[in-house]
Copies of this chain bind each other. A is one copy, B any other.
Amino acid sequence: MVDNIDQLYADIQRGNENTIAKAISMVEDGTKDAVKLMKKVYRNIEPAYLVGISGPPGSGKSTITQSIVQLWRKENIKVAIIAIDPTSHFSGGALLGDRIRMDKISTDQGVFIRSMATRGSLGGLNSSIYDTVLIFSLAGFEYIIIETVGVGQNEIDIVKLADTTIFVTVPEAGDEIQAYKAGLMEVGDIFVVNKADRPKSKQMVLTIEQLVSFREDKNIWMPPVLATNALKEEGITDIKKRINDHHIYLQENDLLQKNRREVIRAQMINLMEKKLNEKYISPILKDQKFFKHIELICKKKEDPYSVVNELLLL
């Protein structure tokens, strides 16, 4: 229990690292205090600028993230990083990985790195991700980066929270069809072909430029396709510049508010699903009756459709 939500709020606002970490854990655990805290945060805080970075494993997202953060740090801008991982039974692996790979910024006081799971404990998109964004905003971080490792539908939904989404790929990520299928393509505001010293790099840039040109909104923001070599820190200033361009574009076209509305909508759906799960599904899963039904379905004496209606009393 927390004695005083206002004190907690003030400590976060002061940038106290331990309090920030504690608040995020509270939100993840869904405590009553977390709800009280978040009610206050939602009613007081404007979210910081949110950048999503996504792409297939091994494309160099973490190296790019680290290099961009270093550029911002030179301007004394505080940055928080939320590293999203598919929840893994190999516990601890994710966090460890980030720490190793972001060694140039992990000890910087102006940088806060937090690993979070894709899903909440009850399934569904992890609603604490956006709450964490707001906690970081309260703590005075000016940029927040959400990095997703996976390339699935959940990951698309997570980067959709962002104001600017960067999609990173590599020259050999696959032929045209593979790129077309990647799904994340449609949400990118900036595309990066990393490891551009490799063969097929120019071809990949052209492929993406062509895919992007099919977009309906092409006469508005035309996503740039940048070639970088993150390990040599080549092309990073260009990414930083394009984030800035996109930020200005959003501001000038009143799109920041539009994005915010969509995020709030998604967040509310998440919260509703969570509430319904807690109230209706969780008790069923703990009930011995549920296991008996599964056995009967396996023996073909019942079927899931009939049983579900019965269990939910619908």
Contacts and interface: CB of A to CB of B under 8 A. Distances in A.
A302 B86 CA distance: 32
A180 interface: yes
A175 B100 CA distance: 12
Interface in A206-229: 211, 214
Interface in A144-168: 148-156
Contact of A305 (B38, B185, B186, B265): B38
Question: Would you list the 8 A-B pairs with minimal beta carbon distance, nearest first?
Answer: A152-B152, A58-B174, A86-B183, A150-B152, A42-B303, A97-B177, A118-B153, A271-B308
Q: Which of A97, A119, A211, A305 has the most CB of B within 10 A?
A: A305
A87 B153 contact: yes
B151 A153 contact: no
A301 interface: yes
Interface residues of A, number: 88
Contact of A181 (B85, B211, B297): B85
Interface of A: 35, 38-39, 42-44, 56-58, 85-90, 93-94, 96-97, 100-101, 118-119, 123-124, 148-156, 172-175, 177-186, 211, 214, 257, 260-261, 264-265, 267-269, 271-273, 275-277, 279-281, 284-285, 290, 293-295, 297-298, 300-309, 311-312, 314
B281 A272 contact: yes
Contacts of A308: 268, 271-272, 275
Q: Taking chain A's interface residues, is the majority helix, strand, or loop, or is none over half, making it mixed?
A: helix
Nearest to A94: B181
Contact of A43 (B38, B175, B303): B303
Nearest to A177: B97
Nearest to A278: B314
14 contacts: A39-B306, A44-B300, A85-B181, A86-B182, A86-B183, A86-B184, A100-B177, A150-B155, A264-B297, A265-B294, A268-B294, A272-B308, A276-B276, A276-B280
Given A100-B177, A178-B58, A90 B186 contact: yes
Contact of A39 (B96, B271, B305): B305
A83 to B, nearest CB: 9
Contacts of A43: 300-303
A180 B96 CA distance: 10
B172 A257 contact: no
A112 to B, nearest CB: 20
